[in-house]
Amino acid sequence: MKAPFLAFITLFATLAGIPCALAQAPIPEPPTIGAKGFLLMDHNTGMVLAESNADERLEPASLTKIMTAYAVFREMAAGKLSADDEVLVSEKAWRTEGSRTFLDVGSRVSVDNLLMGMIVQSGNDASVALAEHIAGSEAAFAGLMNAHARRLGATNTHFVNATGLPAEDHYSTARDIASIASALIQEFPEQYKRYKVKEFVYNDIKQTNRNRLLFRDDTVDGMKTGYTAAAGYCLVASAKRGEMRLISVVMGTSGPEQRARDSLALLNYGFRFYESHRLYDGRVPVQRLRVWKGQQTEVPVGPQQDVYVTIPRGRYEELSAGLDAVPDREAPVAQGDRLGTIVVSLGDEEIRRVPAVALEEVPAGNLWRRLVDSIIQLFRS
């Protein structure tokens, strides 16, 4: 149905005093999820679409390895580690219990293979080998993980190891796990592609990715399963349909089938009743603002990053946005200086505010330019 026709029907019904279901269909309650805690989030906006006990501290099991991978990717991005580097497998890594890549003690394994073993096979031995190689010990690496968690705002998270094996004071929440997963996807899109690999062979042993949604829905391209007896069955899933990417986190379900079924139910709910739109491209001018006493008289202004909004499905025509600019800005203006705010509204409700910054610098003008502008400003006032 075309939006103008829908608007006409809505207006007619309003004037006539007739309730109109077409005007704005109500969004139902999220599906019932058999988990200790869960959360559904739009990756691009951070908007939470469904949650329950999302801030309860729970054992994350192998969901821990999302942060393990994030920390490794940060080291690689900083040039301190490469995919071809070889890592010596210690006896501690080799003896680590639980799921494994079946590394040989004393062998040298590439970072690339260790990452695949950790991500696809959930190998605890691969996780410990990476941690020891980067930080000298698994405990020291856990400190690095905690530093990243604090920087990302995951304030209800504390890691003791790189694997997620049960340990005192090792915990996280559905909300924090979603934030960490979103940061990994945002910062390392090329590395994230590892999470959709369905099987990996190492040491002549083929293991299949435990994320069953990779085999059921081709829009799902990640992310990580987890299980211990204390934590229950956990799953972080991410799917992209069109421009919209959703991340679901379920923690503490009763079985591998339930975590898959519940995760897919959450994802389908989000895609069915919400939509995501990119309103502005990052570092692309929204407007040019007057600058006084500068070498240039105008400066391009826009957001630093792409601006997305998440809204109930079918209400796109109600979106509006504008720039609330800082008046009478004088040079010098540095690139990145905040010069206003992009305000986004849905109908009469303000739903998002995004800083608008100078996309170029404007140095101070010469004496003549400053004098002329001072006179103009005097007469304007």
In whole angstroms, give the CA distance from residue 103 to residue 96.
11
Q: Please tell me which residue in 90, 99, 122, 248 is annotated as part of the active site.
A: 122
H/E/C letters for each residue in the chain? Answer: CCHHHHHHHHHHHHHHCCCCCCCCCCCCCCCCCCCCEEEEEECCCCCEEEEECCCCCECCHHHHHHHHHHHHHHHHHCCCCCCCCEEECCHHHHHCCCCCCCCCCCCEEEHHHHHHHHHHCCCHHHHHHHHHHHHCCHHHHHHHHHHHHHHCCCCCCECCCCCCCCCCCCEECHHHHHHHHHHHHHHCHHHHHHHHCCEEEECCEEEECCCHHHHCCCCEEEEEEEEECCCEEEEEEEEEECCEEEEEEEEEECCHHHHHHHHHHHHHHHHHHEEEEEEECCCCCCEEEEEECECCCEEEEECCCCEEEEEECCCHHHEEEEEEECCCEECCECCCCEEEEEEEEECCEEEEEEEEEECCCECECCHHHHHHHHHHHHHHC
For residue 122, indicate whether it is catalytic: yes
State the catalytic residue, choosing from 36, 65, 99, 127.
Answer: 65
| Known catalytic residue at 65 | yes
Contact 293, 369 (CB under 8 A): yes
Give the CA distances from residue 175 to residues 27, 50, 112, 128, 180, in Å, rounded to whole numbers and listed in that order: 22, 11, 29, 25, 9
Residue 341 neighbours by CB distance under 10 Å: 15
224 labeled part of a ligand binding site: yes
User: What are φ and ψ of residue 277, in 5° steps?
Assistant: -135, 140
Rounded to an integer, what is the distance from CA 130 to the centroid of its chain?
24
Handedness of CA 357, 305, 155, 352 (dihedral sign): positive
Active site (annotated) includes residue 62: yes
The binding site for substrate consists of: 224
Report, as residue numbers or ranges, the catalytic residues: 62, 65, 122
The binding site consists of: 224
